[in-house]
Structure 1
Amino acid sequence: MQLFLIHLGGSFQSSILLLMAVDRLVAICWPLPTYAIIFIVIFHSHTGEARQKAIHTCGTHLVVITVGYLCVVCAFVGYRVSNIAPDIRILLTISYLIIPCAFNPVIYGIRTKEIKVHLMMIAAHGGSGHVPLH
């Protein structure tokens, strides 16, 4: 039962990432006219703010997908190579399940302005944990 639930959770995560990737593929390769106009305006703008926001949105998504599928590839390759110890194979499989789930909040959290500002305040105060809140 436990193994079934682990694989069920992994399949949900992979399905969500696949749907997000298909959404980006459609938005980039077959954009609607309203998307084409937005991208034209973004890339012709004189300020880098619009470009940076577009890259920020797509970049976050690409990092999450890369981390997720990199863990999957490592786990699958670990079972194909015969001279890898069973303990390492188990570790790779566990990392395939845990790292993407733990990495998503970090990526999206760091991209949130309020969290980034608070983390910078903590770093500026030497990580003491005593940060004055506004």
Structure 2
Amino acid sequence: MAASLKTSNSSKFQVSEFILMGFPGIHGWQHWLSLPFALLYLLAIGANILILITIHQDPALQQPMYYFLGILSVVDLGLATTIMPKILAIFWFDAKIISLPECFAQIYAIHCFVGMESGIFLCMAFDRYVAICHPLRYPSIVTNALILKASLFMVLRNGLFVIPVPVLAAQRNYCSKNEIEHCLCSNLGVTSLACDDRRPNSICQLVLAWLGMGSDLSLIMLSYTLILRSVLRLNSAEAASKALRTCSSHLILILFFYTVIVVISVTHLAESKATLIPVLLNVLHNIIPPALNPMVYALRTKDLRAGFQKVLGLGLKTNDA
């Protein structure tokens, strides 16, 4: 499809809209992917809303650990909803056209929510570190005031931190091509269409990623290293085993979250043309964590499982993981 051009010479952009083509190389049958994506989206929405309702209704769950989990659920809802409705509209209604302001807004929202998810992972790792390594001091350290301050800091940090990404993308000159080989507006995917130099965008994204999520990941790994050292010193084999099971599940999701970001960034920087695997990973990275986080962080917790049963009206017996 030919690029749509604005008639006004005073406009910064010559291209008036972008066209999201979907997954490169499989345009003919990509609509079949709508079913698993829709199911993942429904799972993410349903599970995270259930967590929020359960924490709100059960006084026993109104504790710091569950507050962090509730914040993570809100972030997951925002991350999944930022991309999935548009992706499903492309598959079901061939609604491939997206305006430039909508596209840049989606770039901002994706980077903002991904950064907040990274920040909440860090908060939850710190919470587990204090609970396991300094249990007697936990009530005095992890207070409601600390949770509020940490949450506001993560929102403000990422809300302001990622502003340069869409701003720089909007300053590029899109003079000819407007077909994006993607299901969503990724920063590097969009700026690859620019007629001028996109290196400032790539450098900006790389620097912000290392300063933000890179520092988060370093502190997360430090927290879990200290947790592991403390667990190995426990005299109780059962307590050590329980802590290791919980931490291993969390680490799997965390490593998936950060590894995919690295793969996507390196692939985009190394290749000028979009290919299927990194595009698919980019989409899955924004929907799999919101769908799986409730299971890993919640279903392995006895009190939260009991809360689910109360909300759902079930009387099943629960056993601690």
Short-chain TM bin: 0.5 to 0.7
Task: Describe the shift of the 1:26–1:89 C-alpha distance in structure 2 as closer, same or farther (beyond 3 A).
Answer: closer
Indicate the structure (1 or 2) with the bigger Cα radius of gyration: 2
Structure 1 residue aligned with 2:186: none
Structure 2 residue 17 is the aligned partner of structure 1 residue 17? no
TM-score, length of structure 1 as denominator length:
0.59
* 2:291 is the alignment partner of 1:96: no
1:33-81 per-position Cα deviation (integer Å, ceiling 9, x unaligned): xx95x753x2x33xx3112112123212212211211221232233134
Contact between 1:78 and 1:92, CA under 8 Å: does it hold in 2? Answer: no
The whole-number CA distance in structure 2 between the counterparts of 1:49 and 1:80 is 47
Determine which structure has greater relative contact order: mean sequence separation of CA pairs < 8 Å that are 6+ residues apart, divided by chain length. Answer: 2
Aligned counterparts of 2:107 and 2:272: Cα–Cα separation in 1: 25
The answer to whether the 8 Å contact 2:250/2:296 transfers is: no
Aligned residues between the structures: 112
Distance 1:87 1:63, change over 3 A: closer
Q: Given the superposition, is the C-alpha separation of residues 63 and 27 from structure 1 closer, same or farther in structure 2, using an over 3 Å criterion?
A: closer
Unaligned runs of 5+ in 2: 1-104, 126-216, 306-313, 317-321
The correspondence of residues 1-134 of structure 1 with structure 2, limited to 5 A, is: 1-19=105-123, 20=125, 22=219, 25-26=222-223, 28-29=225-226, 40=233, 42=234, 44-45=235-236, 48-82=237-271, 85-113=274-302, 133-134=315-316
Q: 1:133 to 1:9 in 2, by over 3 A?
A: same
User: Does the 8 Å CA contact 1:71/1:99 hold for their aligned counterparts?
Assistant: no
Structure with bigger helix share is 1
Relative to structure 1, the CA distance from residue 105 to residue 80 in structure 2 (aligned partners, 3 Å threshold; closer, same or farther) is same
Instruction: Name the counterpart of 2:35.
Output: none
1:99 Cα offset (Å): 2.0
Counterpart-to-counterpart distance in 1, 2:298 and 2:275: 35
